[in-house]
Amino acid sequence: MIASPLLKRNPNLYVFLPLFYMVWEDAILTPSEIKTIHEIIALQDWLTNEERSFLLEQINPASPPTPDELKSWLDEIKLVRNQLSAEKKESLVDIGVQLVRHHSNGQGSFSEETLLTLSNIENALGNISRESAYLFHPDERKTITSQHSTQSTFNVDALAGILEGQQSSVIRKVKEIISDPEFQYLDTDNLNEYREKVLQWCKHLAAQGLGSLAFPKEYGGSGDLEAYFTTMETLSLYDFSLVVKFGVQFGLFGMSVYFLGTERHHKKYLQKIGTLELPGCFAMTETGHGSNVKGILTTATYVHATKSFTIHTPVPEARKEYIGNAACHGQMATVFAKLILEEKDYGVSAFLVPLRDKNGKILPGITIKDCGRKMGLNGVDNGVIYFDSVSVPSENLLNRYADISDDGKFTSPIASDNRRFFTMLGTLVGGRIGIPRAGLSAVKSGLTIAIRYGDQRKQFGPEGGSEVPILNYRTHQRRLMPLLANAYALHFSLQHLTSRFINRTESDMQEIEALAAALKSFSTWNTTHALQECRECCGGKGYLSENRIDRLKNDTDIFTTFEGDNTVLMQLVAKSRLTEFRHEFGNMNLFGVLNYVADQTKTSITEKNPFAVRNTSEEHLLDSEFQLHAFRYRERDILMSAAKRLKRHIDEGMDSFDAFNVCQHHLVNVGFAYVERVVLEKFIEQVEETKDAGCKTVLKRLCDLFALSQIDKNKGWYLEQGYMDGVKTKAIRKLMNQLCWDVRQEAVPLTDAFKIPESCLAAPIAL
């Protein structure tokens, strides 16, 4: 085009050059667009027929310009791009006019009518003039998206102090240990090498006194159960095989001896367990019975003549399966079995059964098979155990809740087999606290990696402008920022659960067990979802093992079924809530019932009136009182409707077991509504208790994001119930986007507050 003599004779033809450049640079001309351009060129009465033919040939799809020709067009445009005033840099036609003047010594000019018709070409092509012009002025394009960057309005150390609470000294000690070169990550596919290294790490921790933290001081411990949970959570910033090995040895095995045994067991075993002199297992799960512990088939038959128990696996389904520490290292196991005395079944009790001698040789009557390689946690030696009439002395019965008298009679402080069983399991609820706290540490690591990477990884950007960090994109923020809010919310609720368990009373136990089951489920489901999002948000880099997200995902995937299948646990939560609901009404007199009904009516009047259901003001949506009311209303309504539904089925003659089966999905929703309300309550309490102004502000923002994201997740229910109108749920979604935008600016320092050692993070994309 530029070489044509026509341009020398009539420089006014240059006015088309920017338009034609844009056509070939970034567009495919459709037949209708070509027709429109033909019509507009035909209207230019200042063109000769030869010039019209020449111009039309420049947009002939069958004869496009060569790459060199296209570059020469751009070079021409660049000659004049800086000669325009700021307001003239928005139009391709204006750039074309300046080209005309450049090649005609400033003599070229066009009528207003001509300029208008030329502008119609841009419209016909669907170009945004100022967007196209930025291709020639990339240095001047300033977008909000590209200017968004990390900043901090709070003190990171102060927020870290809030997260650590009174456990900061324990956390610092554990972080210092796992940052030592001795704890350098092991890159191996050799199972034996990995398992032995994990055992060695456990011994290092035991030597530091961390294994016996929860045991009484007289048995080598500190009597500090909270420090034990904190240690587990902090170790989870490092290696999960170590966490599980540590938890099996000192938590499940050690705490079963402590909680289910009596002084004779404490004196004989606790110190050896705490120092790892006695490696052990926790043998509860059977091939045929996972969550249903009450239905296990392993038997422990009492033989009065020898004052011993015979531990036996009667059928293959009764073998103990997936038992940590069993395949290689365990020398003793806490075995759960049905206590049989004089052919009577007295329910499940726990027994200490030796598996190996000091040299690691498997003892007679014991058969152990290696479970082999797993999806993750391959540093843990899981095994399958069979017992062939193995005899153990009667003193090996962990006899806090069940015992055999000198004359061979069964005794227990709890008469009911059922109540005794659940009391026994209640003392072991600590596992359902340790697992979600460990999973949360994995989420913190994953989010730190993904957010740091998103803050520095640049990709795409405005046309003609520089690339922008992917964390500036709204979709990226919507994927990660609510998960960051979830992490903070779960941190405070799990701290609350830990405190309640440590300071528990017998009357609190049912509620604590329900809360532990609910938070374990909610938190570990969040772990699985969050790590998948973190992996995807890091693209191919997240798929590389060097960046550790694969290990975090694989090692924690089991957490949704560890310590009880999440779906089953949520049903247990619902049953607990229904029991409390029934007791609440059972303990009410007539006036209490009337007051309750009045309160429900009042809620409907105040919260479901036309103004409330359509209130979209930011002040209202960010009001903690509104958020709590919404969560509490949902919890109460779902609980009441589940109770009514079950009662209706049973009243109609349906067996109660079938009724619960029919309502299972409803019951799971009862569990979700309950735990979401608790998590929000504890987050709001933390915000109110926070004194540091900067920390308080950022925590409130995270709390709002958590609350609104949960409401958005459940918006279908709120719309069905008439609790909110569509305009309100749309306003919530819009406000969520803004909160994600705001949180993004402080996302990196918010993850810095987790204080994860760089040696533990160990992801090149996050350094």
Query: What are the φ and ψ backbone dihedral angles of 673, each rounded to 5 degrees?
Result: -60, -40
409 — pLDDT class (breaks 50, 70, 90): very high
Counting DSSP H helices and E strands in the chain, the numbers are 35, 13
> Between these two residues, 84 and 677, which has the higher pLDDT value?
677
Whether residue 166 is contained in a domain is answered as no
How does pLDDT run across 181-220, given as a tens digit for each residue?
A: 999 999 899 999 999 999 999 999 999 999 999 999 999 8
326 — pLDDT class (breaks 50, 70, 90): very high
Residue at 421: amino acid letter = F
So what's the pLDDT on residue 708?
98
Same domain, 414 and 441: no
User: What is the tally of structural domains in the chain?
Assistant: 3
Query: What are the φ and ψ backbone dihedral angles of 333, each rounded to 5 degrees?
Result: -135, 145
Query: Hey, what are 669's tokens?
Result: 């929703």
Whether residue 155 is contained in a domain is answered as no
Whether residue 48 is contained in a domain is answered as yes
Whether residue 156 is contained in a domain is answered as no
Question: Residue 424: pLDDT above 90?
Answer: no
- Length of the chain equals 767
How does pLDDT run across 545-564, given as a tens digit for each residue?
A: 999 999 999 999 999 998 88
Domain boundary among 140, 169, 203: 140
Q: Which of 3-17, 111-125, 583-597, 663-677 has the highest mean pLDDT?
A: 663-677
The DSSP-derived string for 510-554 is HHHHHHHHHHHHHHHHHHHHHHHHHHHHTHHHHHSGGGSHHHHHH
Is residue 293 within 8 A of residue 336, CB to CB? The reply is: yes
The C-alpha atoms of residue 509 and residue 569 are separated, in whole angstroms, by 16
The C-alpha atoms of residue 430 and residue 229 are separated, in whole angstroms, by 8
Whether residue 351 is contained in a domain is answered as yes
How does pLDDT run across 131-183, given as a tens digit for each residue?
A: 555 566 655 556 666 667 788 889 999 999 999 999 999 999 999 999 999 99
Same domain, 451 and 320: no
So what's the pLDDT on residue 252?
94
Nearest to 718 by CA among 560, 602, 598, 607: 607
Same domain, 392 and 488: no
Q: What is the CATH number of the domain that holds 279?
A: 2.40.110.10
Query: Hey, what are 736's tokens?
Result: 């969520």
Same domain, 259 and 126: no
Alpha helices (H) in 283-396, listed in sequence order: none
Residue with tokens 């995902």: 553
351's enclosing H/E stretch is strand 344-354
The C-alpha atoms of residue 678 and residue 691 are separated, in whole angstroms, by 22
Mean pLDDT on 471-500: 96
Whether residue 163 is contained in a domain is answered as no
How does pLDDT run across 723-766, given as a tens digit for each residue?
A: 999 999 999 999 999 999 999 999 999 999 999 999 999 999 99
How does pLDDT run across 588-643, given as a tens digit for each residue?
A: 444 444 455 455 555 555 566 666 788 999 999 999 999 999 999 999 999 989 88
Same domain, 251 and 318: yes
Same domain, 415 and 436: no
Range of weakest confidence among 56-70, 85-99, 559-573: 85-99
Question: Residue 584: pLDDT above 60?
Answer: no
Residue at 491: amino acid letter = H
DSSP 224: -
Same domain, 404 and 553: no
The C-alpha atoms of residue 279 and residue 175 are separated, in whole angstroms, by 24
Between the two ends of the chain, the Cα-to-Cα distance in Å is: 51
Q: What is the CATH number of the domain that holds 542?
A: 1.20.140.10
Whether residue 172 is contained in a domain is answered as no
The C-alpha atoms of residue 685 and residue 27 are separated, in whole angstroms, by 56
So what's the pLDDT on residue 464?
60
The C-alpha atoms of residue 365 and residue 387 are separated, in whole angstroms, by 6
Q: What is the mean pLDDT of the chain?
A: 89
96 — pLDDT class (breaks 50, 70, 90): confident
CA 765 to chain centre: 20
43 — pLDDT class (breaks 50, 70, 90): confident
Domain boundary among 400, 428, 456: 428
76 — pLDDT class (breaks 50, 70, 90): confident
Report the predicted TM-score, pTM, of the whole model to 2 decimal places.
0.85
Q: Which domain holds residue 263?
A: 180-428
Same domain, 608 and 748: yes
The DSSP-derived string for 90-136 is G-HHHHHHHHHHHHTTT-----HHHHHHHHHHHHHHT--HHHHHTTT
Nearest to 310 by CA among 389, 379, 385: 389
Q: Residue 218's CB: how many other CB atoms inside 10 A?
A: 12
Crossing angle, helix 509-537 and helix 664-689, to 10 degrees? 90
Range of weakest confidence among 192-196, 458-462, 538-542: 458-462
So what's the pLDDT on residue 681?
98
Same domain, 378 and 310: yes
Same domain, 659 and 753: yes
So what's the pLDDT on residue 470?
86
Domain boundary among 428, 454, 479: 428
Same domain, 534 and 624: yes
Residue at 756: amino acid letter = I
Mean pLDDT on 362-367: 98
126 — pLDDT class (breaks 50, 70, 90): low
Alpha helices (H) in 615-766, listed in sequence order: 618-621, 624-651, 656-662, 664-689, 693-713, 715-721, 726-745, 747-752, 758-761
Whether residue 170 is contained in a domain is answered as no
So what's the pLDDT on residue 86?
53
Is residue 750 within 8 A of residue 743, CB to CB? The reply is: yes
Same domain, 113 and 184: no
Is residue 221 within 8 A of residue 215, CB to CB? The reply is: yes
Rg of the chain over Cα atoms, rounded to whole angstroms, equals 35
